[in-house]
């Protein structure tokens, strides 16, 4: 996988139709990074089916487009006040994704299986299948990536240290697959070590 072929050729038409629904709350960027994570997790999870996982992660958040953008941050975060909107975005997501998948009928893709994962990818915490686990881990694992940290810290005006503390409480316990757990633990550990560098290495003197 290079910088020029994050998406499999089969999934490019799905992405093109999904983009207009993903240009809210950085969902377009989130989706591409999560897709890349899903491909990496698939390499470590041979029992999972990429023809279900990858279309599902590509289309999982299209439903946010139908939610009032002024309410988006009320639906997520550490103290959400509008959890009903999370259910709503899944419902809308199934409808939009169904239209996209039915239009393209990508070869080898079980559309019903993809839609079943989108329906519940946030609100159902346990994994209903290995494919569901990989999608959930790619989605939630994004929070532990440098990109996810940058975006979410910007939303809430958090420091990286504050964010890492939150992620250790709300992200790590919800990773489902062995590969997903390892991914999140390693990314958070690396960022914590990076923050600790100044305490071990003195800044050079400019005298």
Torsion from C-alpha of 84, 89, 91, 97, nearest 10 degrees: -170
Mean pLDDT of 38-51: 97
pLDDT in the model for residue 81: 65
For residue 3, pLDDT beyond 60:
no
Mean pLDDT of 183-195: 92
Mean pLDDT of 112-134: 94
pLDDT in the model for residue 25: 83
Q: How far apart are CA 103 and CA 161, in angstroms?
A: 45
pLDDT in the model for residue 87: 82
- From residue 201, give the alpha-carbon distance in Å to each of 9, 117, 186, 194: 46, 46, 22, 11
Mean pLDDT of 157-181: 88
Confidence of residue 122 (pLDDT cuts 50, 70, 90): confident
State the chain's mean pLDDT as an integer.
89
Residues near 150 by beta carbon (within 8 Å), at least 6 away in sequence = none
pLDDT in the model for residue 154: 87
Mean pLDDT of 31-56: 97
Mean pLDDT of 10-38: 95
Q: How far apart are CA 94 and CA 24, in angstroms?
A: 17
pLDDT in the model for residue 89: 83
Confidence of residue 157 (pLDDT cuts 50, 70, 90): confident
* Mean pLDDT lowest among 70-74, 90-94, 100-104, 119-123: 70-74
Mean pLDDT of 48-75: 87
Domains of the chain are 9-198 (1.10.3210.10)
For residue 74, pLDDT beyond 80:
no
pLDDT in the model for residue 132: 97
For residue 78, pLDDT beyond 90:
no
DSSP class of residue 65 equals: G
pLDDT in the model for residue 189: 93
């Amino acid at each position: 996988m290079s910088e020029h072929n994050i998406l499999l050729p089969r999934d490019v038409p799905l992405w093109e139709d999904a983009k207009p629904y993903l240009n809210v709350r950085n969902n377009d960027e989130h989706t591409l990074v999560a897709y890349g994570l899903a491909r990496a997790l698939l390499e470590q999870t041979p029992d999972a089916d990429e023809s279900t996982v990858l279309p599902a992660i590509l289309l999982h958040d299209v439903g946010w487009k139908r939610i009032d953008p002024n309410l988006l941050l009320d639906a997520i975060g550490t103290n959400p006040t509008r959890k009903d909107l999370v259910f709503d975005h899944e419902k809308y997501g199934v409808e939009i994704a169904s239209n996209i998948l039915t239009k393209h009928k990508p070869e080898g893709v079980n559309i019903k299986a993809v839609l079943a994962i989108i329906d519940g990818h946030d609100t159902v915490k346990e994994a209903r299948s290995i494919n569901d686990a990989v999608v959930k881990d790619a989605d939630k694992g994004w929070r532990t990536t440098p990109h996810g940290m940058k975006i979410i810290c910007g939303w809430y005006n958090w420091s990286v240290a504050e964010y890492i503390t939150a992620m250790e409480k709300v992200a790590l316990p919800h990773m489902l697959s062995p590969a997903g757990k390892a991914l999140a633990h390693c990314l958070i550990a690396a960022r914590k070590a990076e923050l600790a560098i100044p305490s071990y290495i003195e800044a050079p003197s400019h005298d």
